[in-house]
Amino acid sequence: MPGKIGFLWVGVLAFQAFYTFSSEAADPQVLKQRVPQDQIAEARAWVNPFPSTPENIEKGKKLFHGKAFCVTCHGRDGKGLGKIPGLVGKLPRNFTDKDWQTARTDGELLWILKNGSPGTAMAPFIPLVLSEEEAWHVLLYVRAFGN
Ligand code: HEC
């Protein structure tokens, strides 16, 4: 058992080192699945119950730029601020990256809003900042950056 844990740590450290010294764009580590393997099937089964209408996207936009403060890290244009003073580790995601948009299902993105992306500055927002319903609206806006 200790052997297995040691092996895991080597993997985690190698991953962190790789990420720190590589750039965000076209980085395979960006596309790498964030949801743990034992939860991925469940997360992928979650479907956004709200249609992508201009009104619903507008609701998400207000939250993104307002009380959910996504804008502070992901930027007004959704491209993700590069180096943020005091922010260590992975950079905020660039939502205009079409490869990334294709790589993720809506359910995986909701999982991130529920759990955060462990080991990064991406924190959980549900339920403290956003209700699940609000989060689905924000995700419609996140998807709109990919169009
Ligand atoms: C404090 C900075 C910060 C704030 C605020 C923030 N994020 Fe993030 N976000 C990040 C970072 C850093 C990552 C990259 C994490 C990673 O690579 O796993 C990220 C990644 C993501 C991802 C991509 C996860 C994936 O599967 O690739 C989504 C979606 C996301 N954020 C949505 C949001 C939304 C929506 C909000 C507002 C409710 C928000 N973020 C607020 C820093 C932030």
**E strand or H helix at 24:** none
Provide the pLDDT for residue 13. 45
C-alpha 106 – ligand 1 centre gap (Å): 14
Residues 66-88 pLDDT 10s: 999 999 999 999 999 887 777 77
Cα of 26 vs its chain's centroid, Å: 16
Eight-state DSSP code of residue 91: P
The residue among 5 and 139 whose pLDDT is bigger is: 139
Joined together, the tokens standing for residue 6 give 């040691």
Q: pLDDT band at residue 4, thresholds of 50, 70 and 90?
A: low
> Which residue has the least CA distance to atom 36 on ligand 1?
70
C-alpha 128 – ligand 1 centre gap (Å): 16
The residue among 8 and 65 whose pLDDT is bigger is: 65
**Using an 8 Å Cβ cutoff, are 44 and 105 in contact?**
yes
The CATH classification of domain 2-144, taken from the options 1.10.3470, 1.10.760, 2.130.10, 3.90.1150:
1.10.760
Joined together, the tokens standing for residue 15 give 């991953």
Residues 23-47 pLDDT 10s: 445 578 899 999 999 999 999 999 9
Joined together, the tokens standing for residue 54 give 């201009």
Q: Which atom of ligand 1 is nearest to the CA of 119?
A: 18
Cis peptide leading into residue 127 (ω within 30°) = yes
Provide the pLDDT for residue 86. 76
d(CA 117, CA 124): 8
**Using an 8 Å Cβ cutoff, are 72 and 91 in contact?**
no
